[in-house]
């Protein structure tokens, strides 16, 4: 997981991985619910979060891993929190996040 931490930091707070890539990093042969939970727990242990919030068992699905303490991660977290409380705030966060993801 140290590799993921470094890559997320190098990308400014977020990076995308397939479930298969994350599975390989934990040394599992197949992606089961238990393996997906292990991946999630390890990411959380390293201070990282992910979307979707439940890692799927399909090895071909993409997971966005982010650091809620870095710029992109802060915006992602803001979108997630605002989405449930204030739609205008969430829309503003989505616009800011979209710009940041496109322009670094």
Alpha carbon distances (Å) from 71 to 37, 59, 82, 86, 104: 26, 28, 16, 21, 10
The residues near 1 (Cβ < 8 Å, ≥ 6 apart) are 25, 26, 42, 43, 45, 46
What pLDDT does 82 receive?
A: 64
DSSP 28-40: -SS--HHHHHHHH
- pLDDT for 103 beyond 70: no
What is the model's pTM?
0.76
Strand partners, 62: 18
What pLDDT does 36 receive?
A: 92
Across 17-21, average pLDDT = 94
Q: Where are the domains of the chain?
A: 2-103
Give start and end residues of each alpha helix (H) in the chain.
Answer: 2-10, 19-25, 33-45, 71-83, 87-103
Confidence of residue 29 (pLDDT cuts 50, 70, 90): confident
User: What digits encode the pLDDT tens for the residues 56-102?
Assistant: 989 999 998 989 888 677 777 767 776 666 666 666 666 766 766 66
Q: Tell me how long the chain is.
A: 104
Across 26-55, average pLDDT = 91
Across 28-37, average pLDDT = 88
């Amino acid at each position: 997981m140290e590799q993921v931490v470094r890559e997320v930091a190098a990308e400014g707070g977020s990076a995308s991985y397939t479930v298969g890539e994350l599975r390989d990093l934990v040394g599992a042969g197949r992606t089961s619910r238990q393996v997906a939970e292990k991946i999630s727990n390890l990411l959380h242990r390293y201070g990282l979060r992910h979307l979707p919030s439940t890692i799927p068992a399909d090895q071909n699905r993409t997971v966005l891993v982010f650091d809620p303490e870095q710029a992109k991660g802060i915006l992602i977290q803001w979108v997630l929190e605002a989405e449930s409380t204030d739609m205008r705030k969430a829309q503003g966060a989505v616009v800011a996040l979209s710009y940041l993801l496109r322009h670094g």
